[in-house]
Amino acid sequence: MPSDPPALTPATVVVSAGRPDHGPDQPLNPPITLASTYGAGGVREYGRYANPTWEAFEETLGALEGGRCLTFASGLAAVATVLDLVAAGDRVVAPRHAYNGVTMQLADLEVRGRLEAVLVDVTDTEAVLAASADAALVWLESPTNPALEVADLPRIIEAAHRAGARVVVDNTFATPLRQRPFEHGADLVVHSATKYLSGHSDLLMGAVLTREEEVYDALRGRRELVGAIPGAFEAWLALRGLRTLHVRLDRAEGNARELARRLAGHPAVEEVRYPGFGAMVSVVLSGGAEAGDRLTRSTSLWVHATSLGGVESTFERRRRWRSEPLTIPEGLVRLSVGIEDVEDLWADLAAALDVLR
């Protein structure tokens, strides 16, 4: 009997999954399907229910993460749909330092009496476990945004399950090439596909993955009901960007590691936060908010912008946003390191830092 084909590495899966069947005159890439309406009697029926272009992206990301994927109009639409799984009055435990949209959604839902939100320091595992004892949902980021803290995912997930809670892991920063939360027992994985997955700062899209059929059906039902669907063109662009995730991330991660090393020795830098993987680096400047603002105004190559995960290097002082937690230092600047030549990135950054000394 023929043996099973060897398992593909993630770098190969990201290129090969979600393709049309191979055959004469078949396109290598799935086309953009611009359709609001389908002929009756099939599995799609209407444009709010399904689209072949979404499905190609979902197949690819699902193969990378090891779960079933649903795409959404944005990362926050994905977040809101997951939070809709929580029953009225239930407790949600989440990081005190997290994607700002997550903490803002939790605060809004708590004010409206929908749920109880408990924010914790994810590096204090015992505190997370204590808060999770009565929780319905534990929301985790690792690394966190923008503090770049790393959580003990296996221990927290195991304890949360013993307490009867579901666990969501936002895997936007790590990507499935550096971390696969389902392997640690997570129930759901969330992505802002706007960031590293698409990688070119040209679209908004979100994704949720699960291995549970009941949860998948509930999420899909909510997506259909509220219409939080991605555009076909956005899904096509996201899949096109996803094909190069492995080479983009390898390059950006190498740059980030080298920049973190050099930044640690600069006198204007009080602290460097880098978890050892990925392409996000945060620095705390000794000059506080004024130094952070001056830095972001003083470069020519680095772009002052609030998003991240693109091929270009961007940075911002996070406390310029009033909704950012007060526990984030005023002088913290979050750097999204791109794929430019590291020497050019360093020359631009070092020149701006030297002025702060």
| Residue in 152, 170, 187, 293 annotated catalytic | 170
| Residue in 68, 195, 223, 334 annotated catalytic | 195
Catalytic site residue 48? yes
Enclosing H/E stretch for 61: helix 52-65
CA 139-67-91 angle, 5° bins: 20
In the block, residue with structure tokens 């534990």: 138
What are 166's strand-pairing partners? 137
Q: How far apart are CA 283 and CA 286, in angstroms?
A: 10
Q: How far apart are CA 74 and CA 281, in angstroms?
A: 24
In the block, residue with structure tokens 């680096």: 281
Q: How far apart are CA 57 and CA 18, in angstroms?
A: 6
What are the structure tokens assigned to 18, written together? 């979600």
Q: How far apart are CA 9 and CA 119, in angstroms?
A: 37
N residues, the chain: 357
Catalytic site residue 90? no
For every residue of 227-273, DSSP letters joined together read T-PPPHHHHHHHHHHHTTHHHHHHHHHHHHHHHHHHHTT-TTEEEEE
Catalytic site residue 38? no
How many other CB atoms are there within 10 angstroms of residue 129's CB atom? 20
Listed residue (214, 196, 213) closest to 205, CA to CA:
196
Enclosing H/E stretch for 167: strand 166-170
| Residue in 99, 196, 216, 274 annotated catalytic | 99
| Residue numbers annotated as active site | 48, 99, 170, 195
